[in-house]
A and B are shown apart, each in its own frame.
Chain A
Amino acid sequence: MSATATAADLEAFRAEAREWLAAAEPPELPDVYQERFRALREWQRRLHGAGWVGIHWPERYGGRGLTMRHTLVFAEELTRSRLPQPVGSIGLEVVGPTILGHGGDELRDRLLPRLLSGEDLWCQGFSEPGAGSDLAGLRTRAVRDGDELVISGQKIWTSWATDADWCAVLARTDPEASRHHGISYVLVPLDLPGVRVAPIVQMTGDAEFNEIFFDEVRVPVDNVLAGFGDGWRLAMDTLGHERCGYAIRRRMENETAFFDLVAALRETDAGADLEPVHRRELGELFVELRAFEALSRVSGDRLARGEVPSPLDSIDKLTLTATEQRLYEVATDLLGPRLTVADAEVSGLRVEEWLKGLLYARSASVYGGSSQIQRTIVAERELGLPRSR
């Protein structure tokens, strides 16, 4: 990321992106989750082929060697075009940067080009049935046997695992070490014997997340990223990227949804008859989204300077949660009593779509560290309050 970007560079890049996106054939997105996923995978391949994936990644791995600002500009334009993001977001934004930052040359050369192109999709095996907010309480074990590690245990809430090729697994490699020091970050192919993925259907109806069972799964010791016992440090790094980077991208999607909502109200003239309370809510929501935009602009600079992880990532995540939940609350308030009829359309809004968004938004205050955990991080690390335990 040695490249720098002037305002003129970025505007030229934006124009280039707009032109390509305007001409691009939008992918058809079936309602059925599995089919939709396949279509999105093909979409990532097309984006990558045209140079729109890995924009700020080194050219050595198939990136373009530009800056994080370029990446954010493209994400903005992609969202504005109402076109989907590349499907391998866990790889691109979470696991990938961790491999890039901590992996040796051999691992990076082998894994990163396929990660960018979407040939390999990644998922992240952190949470366990007994280790949610208390992530360091994880019990999946990886025991060394010569040049191999033997992994046994169970992960849960792993998004997109059914379609993933690899999983970044946090496993306990030293049961004698203290909770945080005995953990390693292990890269595990999901096609190995002993791996079983079991989808969990969410309240939205999608089976986006899963359980993964590891029954004596053998991987080479070289698949340990950084060193044995470095897992916790890497996980914190990863979660910083997840909170900050994901929040920035998801914010753009929420803004698009907000303007779709506004456009629907306008086109059906429902906007003119809006109840005063809904009008107020709509205006306030715009302000909240605008404030989040301002916050995330500074966070984008922080991300570009490599100042991640930071307790400020938690402020991004908390704000994403607050605005996303508010967005869908306001939208579904507007639907009124027709909210109960999933296939109805009210004021140009497809009830099913907004209802699904409302349900999905509830997960925002839980995934990637619950809101309560985020506030504890802010309290202890940003405000310097005494530890609560």
Chain B
Amino acid sequence: MRVGADRELAAEFERAAAELAEDLIRRGVAAGDPDPEGTAWRGFAAAVEAGWCGVLLPEGLGGLGLGMAELGGIFKVVGRNLFAGPLLEHAVAFPLLLAAMPDAERAAALATRLDGSRPAAFVDAAALGGPVPRLDGGALSGSVDCVRFGAEDTDLVVCAEADGGPVVVIVPADRTGVTVSPMESFDPAMTVARIAFDRVAVEPDEALAGAGEIDLAPVRDGLRLMIGCEQSGLAERTMERATEYAKEREQFGRPIGSFQAIQQILAEMSRRSLLLDRLWRDAVPAAGVAAGPVAARVVKVAAALYARGVVEDALQVHGGVAFTLEYDLHRYYKRVLTLQALYGGAELADELADRLLAPGNDPWPALA
């Protein structure tokens, strides 16, 4: 049972994040735009400065040591305002990895390196599926496609397979044998790259832990849950924008929002957006960073079932203008599609079904 105080803290984080987003808008900074210098993402820089990357990080590593509940509201705001930059990496994946490192001293040193002042990429083949790089005798080989923000000149945090199990290593992108090939990104607020490793030398102290020592499943589940929160924000904001538009846009001498054909679409958008919001708030752990495999999949599948459809309906309600590059609604659509693909969408429902059907599982606790 959730305690009231936790929820208040989470609500405070969400409010503060929303204020930051409003402040950026007032200053004329689009959180989803690349910096004019082309080196960073403005919303990302503001988020790093606001401390979002330290929310999950344990206190011993200089973070706030808070949980998914506090970060969920922040990612909702990220979605609502299309914040760009490697936030999932720096606010979710890296803090969870650092917290799982058995050597606290090395974790503290790495926490400084991954604090977001220089964006790093998370090279995880599991994000979109595909072969996993191998680490054999200190040499990393393999290639991963479509790495988010992998085209930045930066550190690479790579999930690889070694003889003793999965291993995570950190190598700079300019290390000999690393080839970064920028790919054309569908989402304008993101760069993607193919990153190839050709017998790249990895020092022993560049591995976060020994092979098999860090369980990557909870990291990926944490990402799934927070991606779901971001999708929830995208759905809610596009629903609001379509509603505002329907009140203003006139055809046949009256606002199109007075036509039942439009009203029925908007009502259904509002229902699906609310369902997704209620769901992640209910499924997020009250305290701590363990998303849980069922909750993470439930939220990610629900986001696939509800968020994309809401954004598509928002395009429909806006009519022709929605299809122009100038009007920014397409950004929400591109974002929702790229997020849906990360770490599995509706196909995760298959895993839920397997879990339900597994013999010996009492179905009721499966709900918990």
Contact = CB atoms under 8 A, between A and B. Distances in A.
Residues of B contacting A: mostly: helix
Interface stretch (B111-119, B196-204, B354-362): B354-362
A386 interface: yes
B270 A284 contact: no
Contacts of A288: 302, 305
Contact of A376 (B1, B260, B359, B363): B260
B254 A385 contact: no
Contacts of B151: none
B80 to A, nearest CB: 17
Interface centre among A80, A255, A291, A318 (most CB of B within 10 A): A291
Contact of A291 (B255, B258, B264, B275): B275
Contacts of A297: 278, 282
Interface string B320-350: 0000000000000000000000000011111
Given A290-B367, A379-B267, A283 B282 contact: no
Contact of A282 (B275, B282, B353, B367): B353
Interface in A361-383: 372, 374-376, 378-380, 382-383
A287 B357 contact: no
A54 to B, nearest CB: 25
A227 B306 CA distance: 44
Contacts of A380: 263
Interface magnitude class on chain B: 35 or more
Interface in A257-272: 259, 262-263, 265-266, 271-272
A273 to B, nearest CB: 10
Interface in A337-389: 372, 374-376, 378-380, 382-388
B350 A280 contact: yes
Contacts of A319: 271, 275
Given A290-B298, A297-B282, A384-B247, A271 B270 contact: no
Contacts of A329: none
Interface string B259-297: 110111011101100111011011100000000000000
| Chain A contact residues, majority secondary structure | helix
Contact of B349 (A283, A372, A378, A383): A283
A288 B266 CA distance: 20
A298 interface: yes
Contacts of A294: 275, 278-279, 281-283
Given A291-B279, A375-B267, 12 more contacts: A266-B358, A271-B357, A284-B346, A287-B305, A290-B283, A294-B275, A294-B283, A374-B267, A385-B247, A385-B257, A386-B257, A388-B258
27 contacts: A259-B364, A274-B357, A279-B349, A279-B353, A279-B354, A283-B301, A283-B349, A283-B353, A284-B346, A291-B275, A291-B276, A291-B279, A294-B283, A295-B275, A297-B278, A318-B267, A372-B260, A375-B267, A376-B263, A376-B264, A379-B264, A380-B263, A385-B255, A385-B257, A385-B262, A386-B255, A387-B258
Interface of B: 1, 243, 246-247, 254-255, 257-260, 262-264, 266-268, 270-271, 274-276, 278-279, 281-283, 298, 301-302, 305-306, 346-354, 356-359, 363-364, 366-367
